Amino acid sequence: RKEVEQDPGPFNVPEGATVAFNCTYSNSASQSFFWYRQDCRKEPKLLMSVYSSGNEDGRFTAQLNRASQYISLLIRDSKLSDSATYLCVVAPGWGKLQFGAGTQVVVTP
């Protein structure tokens, strides 16, 4: 079983619509959680951290469910520029990160 699992997608989303997807992680002792965004042929870039209480950054909302060991990301009012691969990232500690394989989102006009 992979340490971080994501639905690879693609999620095809009409512009202006809402899309949400999850990832699950296996290490219950994981300390920190993040969503990164990776554009084609580019490096991953930190999108947002995920806190236990849930957090919002503009059109993006992240939730953490420690009991069920999953993280979610919701994108509202999707823009064409939101098309990317979204990487679920878990920090088990010791400065290391564990990456999911990514969920591809394609926003269409």
Partner 1 sequence: SAVISQKPSRDICQRGTSLTIQCQVDSQVTMMFWYRQQPGQSLTLIATANQGSEATYESGFVIDKFPISRPNLTFSTLTVSNMSPEDSSIYLCSVEGLSSTDTQYFGPGTRLTVL
Binding site for partner 1 (CB under 8 A): 31-32, 34, 41-46, 49, 87, 91, 95-97, 99-102
Decide if 78 contacts 15 (C-beta within 8 A). Answer: yes
| Degrees to nearest 5, angle at CA 26 with 2 and 51 | 120
**In the complex, minimum distance from the CB of residue 27 to partner 1, in angstroms, rounded to a whole number:** 14
Nearer to partner 1 among residue 37 and residue 76 (C-beta): 37
Nearest to 93 by CA among 24, 28, 2: 28
- Residue 109 Cβ vs partner 1, minimum distance, rounded to whole Å: 26
Return the closest-CA partner of residue 100 out of 52, 44, 28, 31: 44
Based on CB atoms, which residue is closest to partner 1, 31 or 65?
31
Closest CB 32 distance from partner 1, rounded Å: 4
